[in-house]
A and B are shown apart, each in its own frame.
Chain A
Amino acid sequence: MYRYDEFDHAFVSARVEQFKDQVERRLAGELTEDQFRPLRLMNGVYLQLHAYMLRVAIPYGTLSSRQMRKLAHIARHYDRGYGHFTTRQNLQYNWPALKDMPKVLDELASVEMHALQTSGNCIRNVTADHFAGAAADEVADPRPYAEILRQWSSMHPEFSYLPRKFKIAVTGAERDRAAIQVHDIGLHLKKNGAGELGFAVYVGGGQGRTPMVAKKIRDFLPVEDLLTYTTAIMRVYNLNGRRDNKYKARIKILVHETGTEELTRQVEAEWQVLKESDLKLPQKDVDAIDSYFRAPNLPLRPEGWSELAAARKADHSFSTWVDQNVTPHKNPDYGVITISLKPIGGIPGDATDAQMDLVADIAERFSQDEIRVSHEQNLVLPYVAIADLRIVYDLLLTDGLATANAGLITDIIACPGLDYCALANARSIPVAQRISERFGKAERQADIGELKIKISGCINACGHHHVGHIGILGVEKKGEELYQISLGGSGDEICTIGDITGRGFSSEEIVDAVETIVDRYLEIRTDKEETFLATYRRVGAAPFKDALYSEAANAA
């Protein structure tokens, strides 16, 4: 994985010093909260309902054991013993004191981490496929390009005061695990007919109150043009994006109002000027960054398969976990493990300091010292030998980290909601917990199969409800929390925004409503192979609406 050089160290320590100065100016009253706000936001410090929150950047979700241990240490010493992994592959601390922030940033800097650009109207932490470098279906590792973008976008003088925040995601496989089509810019790394690497470029996707699927503006952009082309897009957006209304300020609205064809023309025109500029990438630099991400030398471990067969036979729970949480690896003797942070009835994405330390230890011993954070709020061990699955499972089991539900109905994404967030209209976490408990039985979940529930506590859609197979949006109506359901959303390569079913449900009704939908699906699926999403795409919303509203009407 990428390691800081002297240049990076100099940059980050200067930024920490600068933020110390800003915090001191704020505490001394030299800066008003209004003036401090943009400065703290650029350093990842939010003001939440009850306290300041610090959002730590985990570039493209890749972490070493040493870094994970530091995150655990910070949770223990400056917070209340836990952290929250987010849908942007980052980590949030909910309770640090403002006066401690500079110390926390010092701690992070000591392990090559920071909280820069995790908020504010700048280019945010670049995300990537959480299975990058390990997945069997990958064309090439997208992370070197995410790293180049991360560096180039750091404290960018031209693009730090954009109309609104800006999110870039990169994937290197046809199967899109990075949800690139709901990003401001989505990059799909692929090969052309000549076998050269380049990107399909998508622009203007996003969720929020106006969800939109991104438009493809270029089918193949050579790697050398990555930064010049991105600059052209950013410049067109910075100059023309709306600044009169923050809800219309994202690039998706500019693309929509300008039209894809005209916007593409503007970007291409700007690019003609920039194409041969200093930002054109020399192959040697791409290679140098790429070398940080070379796959580790994995020893052959063919004995694992027979051991696995025996272990599975002996322990049904272990076998279920392998089925659900282990994904094929490039190397047939290895697997990619998803560590679920969704224990039944738990808070999605939360991990205690002890759990973080445990994952760090396991990664050090069994996963080449590497951990990933997924945008689905789980952790990933990318390089585990099949022969080590049993011992890793046993270790995970010791601290509640072996829930066998990756991709299942209880693997719920939820935003922090009204329990923490100043923007929320409704609670998300308790709804997620109740759904999780309702469907918690292993057999029932396995029977239902792949089903992604995503919950947002307000229209900003941090819980990605628009791309949930079942999406739940909390709204406030006459002082009560109400939950709207949408169906058929998907953030993968066939990206769709879910359809709203109709009137919302109260907090008491919402779990029953989800169950009604699930029961109807089980009745009408052609067979167990037909997933919820496939069924929905075949039959549409009608049977589900019928179940939801006619039954409700009958009951009333």
Chain B
Amino acid sequence: MSDISEKSAGELWGREGFREDPYITAPTLEEAADAPAVILPLTVWLGIEDDVRFATNRKIGVSVAPGENVEPLLALLDRIPLIALEFPAFNDGRSYSKAEMLKNQHQFKGELRAVGDVLVDQVAYMLRTGFDTLKVSHAVTLARLADHNLHDAPVYYQPGRGSHTAPGTYSWRRVPAA
């Protein structure tokens, strides 16, 4: 059974399928050397100068742990290329609420990425709360995504991304966008 829990390095997936990940994750900017796209921890990201943070010749994204607040990012959203919300354990659901706030309340236009312990049964929830991409390392999840099996529901009882209103039924209901 050990092969089940074994993690691969992680692959990037979005609604259109697997894709190359241009970003590397680094603890500091120095460690990233001259990588063209890098994701830094929130505390590090907040500490660097604006001209470096928003440099035009490279992309610098920011990673937010469940216990960290997204408030400091809100005023800067239109300049951030990527926000990664972490799921260190599948049962820590704080990042779902942050996704809702970033994408739906504050119209974040950049890439919103889920990183961590992503189980296949959570993929649909992540897409609906606003995530664009998932960095997946769970072997079973990878296999199911490769089969295009999202374990999604055929109908939803709440508004959310990737769905539209269901004609002739209650206002809170939605059906998946084709």
Contact = CB atoms under 8 A, between A and B. Distances in A.
A5 interface: yes
Contacts of B100: 158, 235
Given A7-B166, A30-B4, A285-B171, A157 B159 contact: no
Interface string A5-37: 101001100110010011001000111100100
A378 B22 CA distance: 61
A303 to B, nearest CB: 43
B158 A157 contact: yes
A345 interface: no
Nearest to A7: B155
Nearest to A39: B121
13 contacts: A7-B166, A7-B173, A25-B140, A35-B119, A38-B90, A157-B124, A160-B93, A160-B96, A160-B125, A161-B90, A227-B172, A235-B101, A273-B105
Given A31-B4, A38-B91, A239-B94, A157 B172 contact: no
A39 B119 CA distance: 10
B1 A285 contact: no
Given A161-B92, A227-B172, A151 B157 contact: yes
A238 B158 contact: no
A152 B173 CA distance: 8
Given A157-B125, A160-B93, 7 more contacts: A11-B157, A159-B93, A243-B66, A278-B172, A281-B172, A285-B170, A288-B170
Interface in A477-518: none
B133 interface: no
Contacts of B169: 5, 7
Contacts of A354: none
Contact of A155 (B90, B126, B153): B153
Contacts of B94: 238-239, 243
Interface string B27-59: 000000000000000000000000000000000
B154 A14 contact: yes
| Most chain A CB inside 10 Å of its own CB: which residue of B90, B153, B169, B170 | B170
Contacts of B5: 32
A238 B91 CA distance: 12
A289 interface: yes
Nearest to A156: B158
Contact of B157 (A155, A235, A238): A155
B128 interface: yes
Interface string B67-102: 000000000000000000000001111101110110
B148 interface: no
B15 interface: no
B93 A10 contact: no
A151 B98 CA distance: 23
Contacts of A162: 93
Interface in B137-151: 140, 151
Contacts of A281: 171-172
A531 interface: no
A154 interface: yes
A319 interface: no
Contacts of B171: 278-282, 285
Contact of A235 (B97, B151, B160): B97
A30 B172 contact: no
A22 B122 CA distance: 13
A10 B97 CA distance: 27
Contact of A157 (B4, B98, B129, B170): B129
A21 B119 CA distance: 14
A158 B96 contact: yes
B41 to A, nearest CB: 19
Interface string A133-163: 0000000000000001001111111111110
Contacts of A18: 121, 151
Contacts of A157: 96, 124-126, 128-129, 156, 158, 160
A288 B171 CA distance: 11
A474 B119 CA distance: 38
Contacts of B96: 157-161, 238
A359 B69 CA distance: 54
A227 B172 CA distance: 9
Contacts of A278: 159, 171-172
B91 A154 contact: no
Nearest to A277: B159
A191 to B, nearest CB: 24
A279 to B, nearest CB: 6
